[in-house]
Amino acid sequence: MTRARTPIEAAAGKLISAVQHEWGTEVGEPCAQESETVMDSCHTLLQAAKTGGLSRVLGTSTVTEFLGPQWVASHPNVQPFIQALEAVAKGEHNA
């Protein structure tokens, strides 16, 4: 039996999917490597979310800062998913 994902895990998973979509459209282009690196960073965030250590991994950084502000600015389709993860993380932190 699989366990249910917490809201923060679900938000991190949706962010990974959004980044994968961006990466998929860039495959074969030079910028695809940076998107793959960002995707790896998103997996780091998901693993941290699973263990309750997201705030430890981020430290004083935002998700955008963690992923790279230039990459995020050039991929606006991902921004709503970043905002959703930050909102859930803030809600859990304040709970």
The answer to whether residues 64 and 80 touch, using CB atoms and an 8 Å cutoff, is no
- Supply the pTM of this predicted model: 0.90
**pLDDT reported for residue 2:** 64
DSSP sequence for 11-46:
HHHHHHHHHHHHHHHHTTSTTHHHHHHHHHHHHHHH
At residue 31 the predicted structure's pLDDT band, cuts being 50, 70 and 90, is: confident
**pLDDT reported for residue 1:** 56
Query: How many Å apart are CA 95 and CA 89, to the nearest integer?
Result: 10
**pLDDT reported for residue 5:** 85
Checking if the pLDDT of 95 tops 60, the result is: no
Closest CA to 83 of 4, 12, 23, 6: 12
